[in-house]
Structure 1
């Protein structure tokens, strides 16, 4: 008789045909001795159980299966054999439970990441300290965004507008800034990120950074040294590098506005962002005319007063509306 069939019989899992086969086999000479050997092997292969109550319940089930009214009355297992059978069944049930448990798919544990953002309105600036002690100075009308995983396995941050970073050094976890199409990677350094109107600029003041086009790292990559700036213009797919004057480009974070041969068009755009105003310029004014100057925490009126003197225009301020005329 096959061992697996006997096991099914002892567990009450045999079909009527298999049950009949086992009962006929038990009538044969030597069947009991063979069954004893099978059960003895199984007994030695499993650990001792102390759950007497559980064993007793299984013994009761076996006795119900092997009752005097059935054809196998000539085979009356002793209590020791019944205990072996009970242990065998118990072992089978435990194994089955473990197997079913192992087959269950472990539910995916999805940690919901929180997204944090900081932003400034026009005319505002903000200094922020990130969890890893990196400092960010956010210019007016700008925004940064990072998630609750920041500083653990990664240090990734998104920027729109303009921000200056003083990055805390951590060689194991690079600092990555996503400013739109460009991705800037640094370990410990200081750099300025500008991203407005489809133009992105990364200006390095200290350390070293890698600048690449996001999702296209092999397309064009620049490694910047202090005093170098990478620029990506909209829809070009190319990064150009040039030198810059840190005292001019990063003056904004200290409350200073510096212009060096800057067009009136760019100056107007900067003033609108800094002071939260709308500036209307008369068409007869030459917006391409360039001027140099420096203003340290000055009011908008004082700045316009200085510019009007050197550029020969008139202006008026009515709350957040500014008009520049001849």
Structure 2
């Protein structure tokens, strides 16, 4: 490891590439983590005496004789649409990584995103499989690998959680959370919708409030619906296939309003829909749509049982504009 990179990191002047290199080195072994703990303590002390009695960081920093082998952060990338973003470096007072206690712990956070118009399959470090629907982001930090299996979801995702009794799996969102007991389930929690739904396929999940208190448990075949405006939870038996078939390219609408369907199509196809016709928002559609079909074919299907007419206007460097007339 280049000592200058460590110094720049401690001074807060390291570039993004240098930070990435530093954390790759830090992840390689417990020895590196222990070395950094000691280096940070030395740096903290020397910074107090800088320009006094000729003492400086370069006078006392230890040497590293062997170059660092670089490696990728994780091998879970399954789709070219996945973007792994270094989104935060925090410090909290607790045990450092594998139990080495220090004043601070430095944790990286990662976000895996399925852009509008695409879906993404990922495998988390514990073997949990997740499919992200269009316009969805899943975040977790480096503590996940050491047993704190906690993720934050914005959007819709299907989870097949690896069972681990000693380390519960938790999904958080802007509204409710879910504590998982080894199971498969679907969650929809787009922040702009101000709604949260959880559909349990098998196993068991508990619904959590923002403080982590368990409000209720779901049984297989049940769906929980939460609306932020009413702050109430409704749980009912459903045909789970209706709410999970999106991962297979099928979406079934049961008497849904057209403005709701427009919002879904915007996410699936990365388009912008403007509804111009008065009363069209409140018309309802009942049927199944194939998500992998061209958008004009989807709109033609909607036309069969609604009063929809449309105009598609391509735009450079912007989502395609579609007028519903």
Q: Answer whether contact 1:179 1:193 (CA < 8 A) is retained.
A: no
**Deviation, structure 1 residue 174:** 0.7
Structure-to-structure mapping, 1:171-250, within 5 angstroms: 171-196=165-190, 197-215=193-211, 217=213, 221-250=215-244
Residues 251-282 of structure 1, C-alpha deviations (whole Å, 9 max, x = no match):
21112222122111111111011111111112
Distance change in 2, residues 1:177/1:216 (3 Å): closer
1:288 to 282, 299, 312: 282
Q: Answer whether contact 1:113 1:149 (CA < 8 A) is retained.
A: yes
Local SS of the residue matching 2:281: coil
**Deviation, structure 1 residue 107:** 8.2
Residues 225-262 of structure 1, C-alpha deviations (whole Å, 9 max, x = no match):
11111222115443221222222111211122221221
Local SS of the residue matching 1:114: strand
The answer for the alignment partner of 1:5 in structure 2 is: none
The answer for the alignment partner of 2:140 in structure 1 is: 146
Distance change in 2, residues 1:239/1:313 (3 Å): closer
Give yes or no for the alignment of 1:322 onto 2:322: yes
Residues 159-190 of structure 1, C-alpha deviations (whole Å, 9 max, x = no match):
01111101011111111000123120012101
Q: Answer whether contact 2:119 2:133 (CA < 8 A) is retained.
A: yes
Structure-to-structure mapping, 1:52-67, within 5 angstroms: none
**Deviation, structure 1 residue 292:** 1.5
The TM-score, its normalising length taken from structure 2, stands at 0.64
Unaligned runs of 5+ in 1: 1-105
Give yes or no for the alignment of 1:312 onto 2:307: yes
Distance change in 2, residues 1:148/1:312 (3 Å): same
**Deviation, structure 1 residue 323:** 1.0
Local SS of the residue matching 1:170: coil
Unaligned runs of 5+ in 2: 1-99, 315-319
The answer for the alignment partner of 1:258 in structure 2 is: 252
- Greater CA deviation, 208-217 or 267-276? 208-217
Distance change in 2, residues 1:317/1:182 (3 Å): same
**Deviation, structure 1 residue 108:** 2.6
Higher strand share: 2
Q: Answer whether contact 1:222 1:239 (CA < 8 A) is retained.
A: no
Q: Which has the larger radius of gyration?
A: 1
1:136 to 127, 130, 138: 130
Higher helix share: 1
Local SS of the residue matching 2:144: coil
Q: Distance in 2 between the 1:251 and 1:292 partners?
A: 15
The TM-score, its normalising length taken from structure 1, stands at 0.63
Q: Distance in 1 between the 2:198 and 2:204 partners?
A: 12
**Deviation, structure 1 residue 109:** 4.5
Give yes or no for the alignment of 1:276 onto 2:270: yes
Local SS of the residue matching 2:262: helix
